[in-house]
């Protein structure tokens, strides 16, 4: 069965500093990996995805994520955090080639960026 | 405007009552999903549908019923609401290629 782990409930970082939100996954086949962001009282918004190809994926709002197959990780990163990046972040996985399966989400990590 | 809409945004109901949460999408996406979001659990899949008249259980289906008679609608029914079903419910749609698109959620309180 596929699963996602986000080991940190909360990440605190000062504005201007780099940020990392961690994610590890487990699937039996090739992973399709995603990051979503949720602002208060809103649905989830897509940030970026990894399907295949370059291990460093760039997405919206200056975020990027690095796929590491040997460590089964897909950490979200940003070189310089903004206060407006404060939100709830979800990592999700789907097994590649299995079109009938749904995304499985992690429990979420709250990112707090202080000014 | 094209998109995915959920109604109502907020709902308060009593234990034992039946309640239906609505989800409508205008993209004609084949796949639709229902998730519930709870503190400490993230998003958990309740049911999903690959096409009209095709539905399947997710991780936490007990106490819920879904139907998909039309591609654009995917209602979620709580047949006899319980306090443990107090949650925020999200509907999502997907065309099999692009990322999932989410509605803004329904906050359900069962008293």
The answer to whether B24 and B46 are in contact (CB under 8 A) is no
Contact B90 A43 (CB under 8 A): yes
Torsion sign over Cα B74, B75, B81, B84:
positive
Mean pLDDT of A74-102: 87
Residue of A nearest to B39 (CA): A107
Residue of B31, B37, B43 to mutate, interface with A, max A Cβ within 10 Å: B43
Does the distance separating the beta carbons of B96 and A102 come in below 8 Å? no
**Residue B93 is part of which domain span?**
4-110
Instruction: Check pLDDT > 70 for residue A99.
Output: no
Q: Under an 8 A CB cutoff, do A42 and B104 touch? A: yes
Query: CATH no. for residue B96?
Result: 2.60.40.10
> What does the pLDDT read at residue B19?
98
Residue A29 banded pLDDT, cuts 50, 70, 90: confident
pLDDT tens for chain B, 111 residues long, are 569 999 999 999 999 999 999 999 999 899 999 999 998 888 999 999 999 999 999 999 999 999 999 999 999 999 999 999 999 999 999 887 778 899 999 999 999
Chain B residues lying within 8 Å of A104, measured CB to CB: 45
- Give yes or no for A34 touching B (CB within 8 A): yes
Q: Per DSSP, which regions of B8-103 are E strands?
A: 10-13, 19-25, 31-38, 42-51, 54-57, 64-66, 76-78, 87-94, 101-102
Band (A41; pLDDT cuts 50, 70, 90): confident
With cut-offs at 50, 70 and 90, classify the pLDDT of residue A72: very high
Query: Which is the CATH superfamily of the domain at A3-114?
Result: Immunoglobulins (2.60.40.10)
Q: Is the peptide bond prior to B8 cis by the omega test (within 30 degrees of 0)?
A: yes
How many structural domains are present in chain B?
A: 1
Question: What confidence tier does A103 reach under pLDDT thresholds 50, 70, 90?
Answer: confident
Q: Are A74 and A3 in contact (CB under 8 A)?
A: no
Mutate to test the interface with B, among A102, A103, A105 (most CBs of B within 10 A): A102
């Amino acid at each position: 069965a596929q699963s996602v782990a986000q080991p940190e409930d909360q990440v605190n970082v000062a504005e201007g500093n780099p940020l990392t939100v961690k994610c590890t996954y487990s699937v039996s086949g090739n992973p399709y990996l995603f990051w979503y962001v949720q602002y208060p009282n809103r649905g989830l918004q897509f940030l970026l995805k990894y399907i295949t190809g370059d291990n460093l994926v760039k997405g919206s709002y200056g975020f990027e994520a690095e796929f590491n197959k040997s460590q089964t990780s897909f950490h979200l990163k940003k070189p310089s955090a903004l206060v407006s990046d404060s939100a709830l972040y979800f990592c999700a996985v789907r097994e590649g080639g299995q079109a009938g399966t749904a995304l499985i989400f992690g429990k979420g990590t709250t990112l707090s960026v202080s000014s | 405007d094209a998109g995915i809409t959920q109604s109502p945004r907020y709902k308060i109901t009593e234990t034992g009552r039946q309640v239906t949460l609505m989800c409508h999408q205008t993209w004609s996406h084949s796949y639709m999903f229902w998730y519930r979001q709870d503190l400490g659990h993230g998003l958990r899949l309740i049911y999903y549908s690959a096409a009209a008249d095709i539905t399947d259980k997710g991780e936490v289906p007990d106490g819920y019923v879904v139907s998909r008679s039309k591609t654009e609608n995917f209602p979620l029914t709580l047949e006899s609401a319980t306090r443990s079903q107090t949650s925020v419910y999200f509907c999502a749609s997907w065309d099999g290629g692009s990322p999932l698109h989410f509605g803004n959620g329904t906050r359900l309180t069962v008293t």
